[in-house]
A and B are shown apart, each in its own frame.
Chain A
Amino acid sequence: MEIQVLVKPAPETEGRIAPTADGSRLDPAGIKWVLAGYDESAVEQALLLRERSPGTIVHALSWGPAPRSEEILRAGLALGCDRATWVEAPPGFEPTGIDAARALAAVLADRPAELVLLGQQSGDSEDGLQPLALAALLGRPGFGAVSRLTWDAAGRQFSFLRSLDHGAEEWTVPAPVVVGLRQADQDPRTAKLPMILKSRKMPVDRVASATVAAALDGHPGSPPLRFSLPAPRSGAKLIEYASPEEAAQKLLKRLREEAKVLP
Chain B
Amino acid sequence: MPDFSLSPDLESLQDLARKFARTEMMPRAAECDRRGIFPEEIYRKAFDLGLMNLNVPAEYGGSGLGAFQQCLIVEELGYGCAGMTTSIIANCLALEPILLGGTEAQKREVLEPFCRSYHLASFGLTEPGGGSDAGSLATRARRDGEGYVLSGEKCFITNAPHASLFTVFATLDPELRHKGISAFYVPREAEGVVPGKDEEKMGHRASSTGTVRFEQVRVPAAHRLGAEGEGFPLAMRTLDMTRTPIGALATGIAQCALDHAARYSRERHSFGKPIGEHQAIQMKLAMMTSQVRAARLLTWQAATLIDAGKNATLESSVAKCFASDAAMRVSDEAIQIFGGYGYMKDYPVEKLLRDAKLTQIYEGSNEIQRIVIARELLRRYAP
Residues of A whose CB lies within 8 Å of any CB of B are 67, 71, 74-75, 78, 190-194, 196-197, 199-200
Contact = CB atoms under 8 A, between A and B. Distances in A.
A140 B48 CA distance: 40
B58 A74 contact: no
Given A74-B12, A199-B12, 17 more contacts: A67-B8, A71-B12, A190-B19, A192-B49, A192-B50, A193-B13, A193-B51, A193-B63, A194-B50, A194-B58, A194-B63, A196-B12, A196-B16, A197-B63, A197-B64, A200-B8, A200-B9
A74 B10 CA distance: 13
Contact of A78 (B12, B19, B51): B12
Contact of B50 (A74, A75, A193): A193
B8 A71 contact: yes
A191 B63 contact: no
Nearest to A67: B8
A190 B16 contact: yes
B62 to A, nearest CB: 9
A241 B230 CA distance: 77
Contact of B49 (A190, A197, A200): A190
Contacts of A67: 8
Contacts of B20: 190
B359 to A, nearest CB: 24
Contacts of B48: 192
Contacts of A75: 12
Contacts of A190: 16, 19-20, 49
B69 to A, nearest CB: 9
A75 B16 CA distance: 11
B13 A196 contact: yes
A49 to B, nearest CB: 22
B374 to A, nearest CB: 38
Nearest to A75: B12
Interface in B181-208: none
A217 B49 CA distance: 45
Contacts of B8: 67, 71, 74, 200
Contacts of B9: 200
Contacts of A199: 12
Contacts of A194: 50, 58, 63
B181 to A, nearest CB: 34
A71 B12 CA distance: 9
Nearest to A198: B58
Nearest to A199: B12
27 contacts: A67-B8, A71-B8, A71-B12, A74-B8, A190-B19, A190-B49, A191-B16, A192-B48, A192-B49, A192-B50, A193-B13, A193-B16, A193-B50, A193-B51, A194-B50, A194-B58, A194-B63, A196-B12, A196-B13, A196-B16, A197-B13, A197-B63, A197-B64, A199-B12, A200-B8, A200-B9, A200-B12
Contacts of A196: 12-13, 16
A200 B11 CA distance: 11
Nearest to A12: B15
Contacts of B19: 190
A197 B58 CA distance: 11
A55 to B, nearest CB: 26
A68 B162 CA distance: 43
Contacts of A200: 8-9, 12
A166 B64 CA distance: 53
B117 to A, nearest CB: 14
The 10 lowest CB-CB distance pairs between A and B, nearest first, are: A193-B50, A200-B9, A192-B50, A192-B49, A194-B50, A193-B63, A196-B12, A71-B8, A193-B49, A196-B16
